[in-house]
Amino acid sequence: MSEKVKLSKDGSSIDFVQSENVPTSLKKFRQSPEIEGFYRFIFENDLQKEGYEILDKIITQRKLKKLADKKQAVEDKKDAKKKK
């Protein structure tokens, strides 16, 4: 992928080359054109700090949701036992 990422004139959208199939392994996923284009966009526009902050928020939200789901599952099991 020697071409740079194409940014719209107003800067509101990015054009990526889309592949036909979804990569099955993590290594292949990282090498997919979409991810490569995303990384290039982040690097070329000096958005590493912002990208890290966004990913950190996403990871934190997912962890909190996972904990809440586990807590809900435990409460559901307790409720099911009480009903018996």
Contact between 55 and 47 (Cβ < 8 Å): no
pLDDT exceeds cutoff 90 at 20: no
- Per-residue pLDDT of 25-47, as tens digits, reads 767 766 777 778 888 888 899 99
Region of 46 on the Ramachandran plot (φ > 0 left; ψ -120 to 50 alpha; else beta): left
Average pLDDT over residues 79-84: 76
Contact between 41 and 5 (Cβ < 8 Å): yes
DSSP 10-31: TSS-EE-PPPSS--SSHHHHHT
> With pLDDT > 70 as the criterion, what percentage of the chain qualifies?
70
Instruction: Identify which of 41, 66, 67 has the alpha carbon closest to the alpha carbon of residue 54.
Output: 41
Full-model pTM: 0.51
pLDDT attached to residue 4? 55
Q: List the domain boundaries for the chain.
A: 1-46, 53-84
